[in-house]
Chain A
Amino acid sequence: MTQTKSLSSETNAEAAYLCLQGVSKVYATHDGPVRALEQVSVGARRGEFLSVLGPSGCGKSTLLMIAAGLLRPSSGAVSIDGAVVTRPRTDIGIVFQSPVLLEWRTALGNVMLQAEAKKLERTAAKRRARDLLGAVGLSGFEDKYPHELSGGMRQRVSLCRALIHDPNQLLMDEPFGALDALTRDQLVLDLQQIWNKRRMTVLFVTHSVPEAVFLSDRIMVMTPRPGRLDRMIDIELPRPRTLAMRETPEFAAYIREILDLFLARGVLREH
């Protein structure tokens, strides 16, 4: 207890909700151990939209899996409200890069899976599932199977499944990475809308700079492997953010700052 206290004061955070302290992860591979994460310390405030931005292979996904309690850090600790996480967290909603839908269940059935896991009252959960699907534009598709839905629709179903139990935290691992640009824009807007209403804590892993700037309160930029926290950037754009805002000088300045950082680290190269 004393240990977590002293550590959380280190990472600042008035009322840090999710706290990562000196988290490292080493994978054993055939070519020897690989350091995926090195000494990452970060605190996410309650209700904060925090993005993790970095090049491929910088351990972003590993970070998210550790935050979800699905992977154990090699060293360091994760805590929620001061309590150390030792098992998979079930109070969260999680969205992967692929939709991970069960092919033998309909859209509604897939969303209801979460309700079954949480033993929510069935009729109320069903109503809520339909509402959620409707909110992301999937009314009328409740009884379709995943193979009858487009990639964007499947990812929306996956988002609804992560939200039906009204989780405290939403963990998203490059959720829009496999989608086309237009669908991606729409889903980013949908996500903002959902977050504006509920203000759950979000940990959003992405490699898209504009997406991170558009959605986030704060962005933690990671270094290339081994992933370390490079810079924490506060995004102080007014909410709700609009597509037009992407053309403003403020928006461009944030993008510039991050790109400059990537140039300096050799992630990007301007020949």
Chain B
Amino acid sequence: MAEAERSLPRSPAVAVAESEASAERSRARRAWRARIRNVLYPVGVVLGVLVIWEAGTRLLEVPAFLLPPPSAVAVSFIANAPLLLFHGWITTAEILLGFALSIVVGIPLALAIFLWPTFSRSVLPLLVSSQAMPKVAVAPLFLVWFGFGLLPKVLIAFLIAFFPVVISTAVGLASIEPEKIYLARSMGFGATATFFKFRLPNALPSIFGGLKISITLAVVGAVVGEFVGGDAGLGYLLMVANGSMDTRLLFAGIVALTVLGVVLFLLVELAERLAIPRHIIAGDRGVHETA
């Protein structure tokens, strides 16, 4: 009753302004809740899995060398932290060098493919068939050629990671509306300016798409290299832990590798955010608007 009496003398304009404000408030509330849900739900799922895992291994008395409970993995992780850090650092260096090499070689290669049709025709089939070859099979060969040090791991990481960079860069450079090129020409931009003002920015979302795939592949490459013949790195640590049936350490190593992979991926994503305005990042809107 009191509510109705109070609202009577108000002008319609005030009423509209009020409903506007309340619409904005409820929108903000919804957005906030959605953000919390986005964090809460995945964390909940992970915690749930860990709890089931922990309870299952304890109740069923699974031997620790088969499947250690998460708590034991955590203890091992903390106890071996210096070891993991030392080997993690080496693996990180291999990954980053392999990734950097992928960029340094991949992007100019893509440029050449884009600018020079003859080159494209002669080299692209070779490039594609090089990808059909299982690169893990080449790893022992690299060992013979380049020894046990950093180099073979970097090269394997590069070999696995550079292809997406080449393809996504070449595709990004080629996929531009013809009108944009017509526009550039009618404005009087030369070839170089057209490239830097039109083509390259147009290709950046695609290039970064390739870089994001590439960084995860570089992690695989480095670990494969360490498996085949290493004396350091997380992959080597996994082999050692496996050999001594220290499954806890094995799991701790896997966790460390996962964290490393995610962090590196996020760093590439950060670079993407800095390099191009958010709204033209490929797939970004789709991912975040479904949330």
Collect the chain A residues with CB atoms within 8 Å of residue B187's CB: 90, 113-114, 117-118
Collect the chain A residues with CB atoms within 8 Å of residue B189's CB: 117
Report the tally of A-B residue pairs with Cβ distances under 8 A.
54
A100-B177, A102-B198 given as contacts; is B280 within 8 A of A94 (CB)?
A: no
Binding site for B on A (CB under 8 A): 65, 68-70, 88-90, 92, 94, 96, 98, 100, 102-104, 113-114, 116-118, 145, 147
- CB–CB A98/B198 < 8 A: no
Size bracket, chain B contacts: 20 to 34
* Least CB distance, A217 to chain B, in whole angstroms: 24
The list of the 4 closest CB pairs from A to B, nearest first, reads A90-B188, A117-B187, A88-B185, A100-B179
Judge whether B30 is part of the interface by a CB distance below 8 angstroms: no
Judge whether B201 is part of the interface by a CB distance below 8 angstroms: yes
A100-B177, A102-B198, A104-B201 given as contacts; is B183 within 8 A of A94 (CB)?
A: yes
Interface majority SS (helix, strand, loop, mixed), chain A: loop
Q: List 11 A-B contacts (CB under 8 A).
A: A68-B182, A88-B188, A94-B183, A96-B179, A96-B183, A102-B201, A104-B277, A117-B188, A118-B188, A145-B277, A147-B280
The residue in chain A whose Cβ has the minimal distance to the Cβ of B285 is A147
Judge whether B35 is part of the interface by a CB distance below 8 angstroms: no
Tell which of B188, B276, B280 has the most Cβ of chain A within 10 Å: B188
Question: How far is it, in angstroms, between the C-alpha of A175 and the C-alpha of B167 when the chains are bound?
Answer: 35
Collect the chain A residues with CB atoms within 8 Å of residue B193's CB: 117
Judge whether B180 is part of the interface by a CB distance below 8 angstroms: yes
- B169-206 CB mask vs A (1 if < 8 Å, else 0) is 00000000101101111111100010001100110000
Judge whether B279 is part of the interface by a CB distance below 8 angstroms: yes
- CB–CB B186/A94 < 8 A: yes
Question: How far is it, in angstroms, between the C-alpha of A218 and the C-alpha of B180 when the chains are bound?
Answer: 30
